[in-house]
Structure 1
Amino acid sequence: MGGLVIAFQDYNVWKGIAGSEWVGLQNFIDFVTDDVFVRVVKNTLMLSLYNIVFCFPAPIILAILLTEMRNRFLSRITQTVTFIPYFISLVVVCGMVLSFCSPSTGLINIILRSLGLEEHYFMVDPDAFRPIYTIMMMWRETGFNAIVYVAALMGIDRQLYEAAKVDGASKWQQIRYVTLPGLMPTIVTMFILQIGKLVKVSYEAVLLLYQPATYETADVIGTYVYRTGLMEQNFGLATAAGLFESLIALVLVVLSNKISKKVSETALW
């Protein structure tokens, strides 16, 4: 945390924090007025929005499906299969994606050729980056994130389901009126945490997948920090950009928590 003071300095590695010139808010001004500021903020928000719309509901649906399976052996196998991808190194996962999307030997283009369709180099197509990133993260994290919801489902009183059956409720009605209300406190809590990540995407995955041709839709705040700090050695500006990202995340968490407390009476604190 002490290193955040670099965000307010023209930091020099050889002079250190004590010897570097103090520039106040100049690094933040430089970041906001940078030509790529709008692009990186927009891309960060768009990837987060894709994540909320597609990836956030996926573990909830998976958890409900797992608990509703009558065959417990099949349920355990399904949970294991969806859980394992989380433990595959992100570098390996991104390597698999690049391999599948290869224009010459990639599985996707092989299928396209076999169907008589034209090949496409997806990884240099700006429009294809966001769907590819979203699908990859959904495949990798859905099984792991579902564990929280499965645990919450196990805590729902089974007598509520029995009462619903007695009242003639169908399976869908049981899910709608018993399962989802029982899950709602967990969903709200996880959603608040997700809102806090609205400006924090998995920049490591983006860094491994993007290239200059896709900067238009792939360049995010995290990759901007990487290029500015490690490649251009502008540590003050990079730290300022990272601190800006964290402060926005903090504000979003506090606001979403307050709104949730007023609307649903469920909150983190």
Structure 2
Amino acid sequence: MPPRVHPAAGFDAALVADLLADALAPGVNVYGICGLQGSGKSTLAAQLATMARSRGLRIAVLSVDDLYFGRGERRRLARRVHPLLATRGPPGTHDVTLGCATLDALRAGTPVALPRFDKLADTRLPPSRWRRVEAVDLVLFEGWFLCTPPQDQAALREPINAVERDEDADGTWRRYCNDALARDYPALWSRIDRLLFLQPPGFETVPQWRWQQEQAMQARRRAAHGMSRADIDRFVALFERVSRQALRTLPGIADRTLRLDAQRRPVG
């Protein structure tokens, strides 16, 4: 039986047109699209880019996922700080300097190559395979935790799931991620002129969404390897703390929030 693919085939065209108008507001060069794993943010970014290009606009799309450190750098972090940093995703596993430089070049209209990360191979593509872009009218920057603030130190004391309890008993990994979120990422977030938050009904929907996303990715690539459902559940647990922080804080931070139901349909 073939795997179920990601059901987020796309958002309604009228909604996409409305969000494009939001992205094209005066003074917006970089439009941020934040949504937890599997929420449809990449689908929406692609729809916005297609619609904008149909109107003759020059568009660049960048994902925070494309800023992941490669396997070698993450392994060095794992040896130096904590073994969980070998896994891509949480704050502290991105090349923030590269992200800032890329967005600055796009804002300035300077030709730049857009970094790309191969999730199935779990490493960044070599720069020779990055797409080079010239001046653009709008940058769509999407990611799962854009503009999420760090937690108070007291909130880090107790583990929130089995991974934290069993693999980060003394809190070294979660403190490192939280410190990176406070120290490094505000510079990246400052490049975002306007932020849209795709708000799920709760964190509980995320593992299923991420599993559907994985199935779709494997089906597209006809991959013989990839993550199993058990792998996905453990992987998502690494994102749980920051994801819940995003759910708590981003509706009050984002310029616009789009609430989604469990099938990713806009509500309200």
Range class of TM-score, shorter chain = under 0.3
More helix by share: 1
More strand by share: 2
**TM-score, structure 1 normalization:** 0.25
**TM-score, structure 2 normalization:** 0.25
